[in-house]
Amino acid sequence: MLLDKIEELLKEVSTLTAKSADDVEQLRLKYLSKKGEINALMGEFRNVAAEQKKAVGMKINELKQSAQNKINELKDQLETSEAQSDDIDLTRTAYPITLGTRHPLTLVKNEIIDIFARMGFTLYQGPEIDDDQHVFTMLNFAADHPARDMQDTFFIERSSTMDVTKNVLLRSHTSNDEAHYMSTHEPPIRVLCPGRVYRNEAISARAHCFFHQVEGLYVDKNVSFTDLKQVLLTFAREMFGADTKIRLRPSYFPFTEPSAEMDISCNICGGEGCGFCKHTGWVEILGCGMVDPHDLEACGIDSNVYTGYAFGMGVERIANLKYRVSDLRLFSENDTRFLREFEGA
């Protein structure tokens, strides 16, 4: 009877399967532990007749060895299977994952920064959420001046009904960085301020409620408009080509005087006139001017000793010209079909 039971267990052990490490452990406990099937056979072995003990003992050893080998085999199979298979994360992008590229605005911004860095400008980035004091008041925007309407932005907190300088808002230009920098540094100052800005605009192909700017500031003794013109000419030729021409048209900004808008010869038609430049041969790219003495004094700089110039450009505007993108909204929609067009850049 005991030999028949051993034979049944041998057949049972030979067909064992396991789907996990827990299954293997349960099989080990069932057959090889102190309370397992094989150890129970040893208790019955004491009642076997003397002439059968040798044969039965050999069968029990065979069963024990078979069970041990089978459990080790199952364990090895599971470890090999786990090593060869990858866990599937259904939330990940389907394989193969393609390499991306820098955003076109980042490409253009980095190129602008690189050009001015070679002319000695250092980088400074300030807060996107700032107070009226640095965004408007220190830059010669009077509390009731209509120039504020030109840069209508989004106000977060009205701290005082009597003092607009304490209002908290999303900056409408990166000129606030220049106010911060001039307030904490002594001339000579040659700084470049890139960043995102916000304005209360109706979103269209030509305008958005947020965009990106790069502004530059140079303050030192005997700085003139001639210096500004030469720096901007150098930038235009580095960015758009050595044959690029510039022209400066009188304009108005509260924080510069005199002020100018700068146009470049259309890089699409070469200045001959086309639909892009409205057949004028010129395209506007930035505003500039000499820093108003009020701004210098408001930031603690003696306007009788120091002068300076400032300029500011929209990164989207430069990207439009460089890559001929007709709709400003494409830059923020994250359409990968559009972004893949810049892999070569």
Q: Tell me: the pLDDT tens digits for 321-336?
A: 888 887 888 999 888 8
Query: What is the pTM for the complete model shown?
Result: 0.68
**Residue 182 contacts residue 149 (beta carbons within 8 Å):** no
Last residue of a domain, one of 22, 50, 82: 82
| Whether 73 and 122 share a structural domain | no
How far apart, in whole angstroms, are the C-alpha atoms of residue 137 and residue 147?
A: 12
Looking at this protein, which amino acid is placed at residue 51? E
Q: Are residue 6 and residue 134 in the same domain, yes or no?
A: no
Residue 71 shares a structural domain with residue 120: no
One domain, residues 62 and 186: no
141 and 147 Cβ atoms separated by less than 8 Å: yes
**Band of pLDDT at residue 82, cut at 50, 70 and 90:** low
Residue 287 has pLDDT above 90, yes or no: yes
User: Looking at the domain assignment, is residue 160 inside a domain?
Assistant: yes
Among 17-26, 74-83, 134-143, 199-208, the least confident range: 74-83
**Which range of residues forms the domain containing residue 4?**
1-82
pLDDT over threshold 80, residue 67: yes
| Residues 35 and 109 reside in one and the same domain | no
C-alpha gyration radius of the chain? 39
Task: Mark whether 52 and 123 lie in a shared domain.
Answer: no
Q: Is the distance from CB of 141 to CB of 148 less than 8 angstroms?
A: yes
Q: In the predicted model, what is the mean pLDDT of residues 154-176?
A: 81
Tell me how far apart the alpha carbons of residues 260 and 251 are, in angstroms, rounded to a whole number: 5
What is d(CA 318, CA 92) in angstroms, rounded to the nearest whole number? 35
Provide the sign of the torsion angle of the four alpha carbons 298, 304, 308, 309, taken in this order. positive
Mean pLDDT, the chain, whole residue set:
86
Q: Read off the pLDDT band of 263 (50, 70, 90).
A: very high
| Residue carrying the six token digits 């009731």 | 144
Yes or no: say if 105 and 331 are a contact pair by the CB < 8 Å rule: yes
CATH number of the domain that residue 262 is part of: 3.30.930.10
Query: Does residue 187 contact residue 145 with C-beta atoms inside 8 Å?
Result: no
> What pLDDT band is residue 83 in, cutting at 50, 70 and 90?
low
Interatomic CA distance for residues 109 and 314, integer angstroms: 9
* Structural domain contains residue 235: yes
Do 133 and 8 fall within a single domain? Answer: no
Is 257 annotated as ligand-binding? Answer: yes
Q: How far is 218 from 311, CA to CA, in rounded Å?
A: 9
From residue 199, give the alpha-carbon distance in Å to each of 46, 103, 104, 180.
Answer: 95, 22, 22, 20
Question: In the listed set 51, 82, 113, which residue is the last one of a domain according to the structure?
Answer: 82
Asked whether the beta carbons of 60 and 48 are under 8 A apart, the reply is: no
Residue 259 is predicted with a pLDDT of 96
Instruction: Quote the crossing angle between the two packed helices 225-240 and 315-323, to the nearest 10°.
Output: 40
91 domain-assigned = no
**pLDDT at site 20:** 85
Residue 335: phi and psi, rounded to 5, are -75, 115
State the total domains in the chain.
Answer: 2
Summarize the confidence of residues 35-54 as an average pLDDT. 78
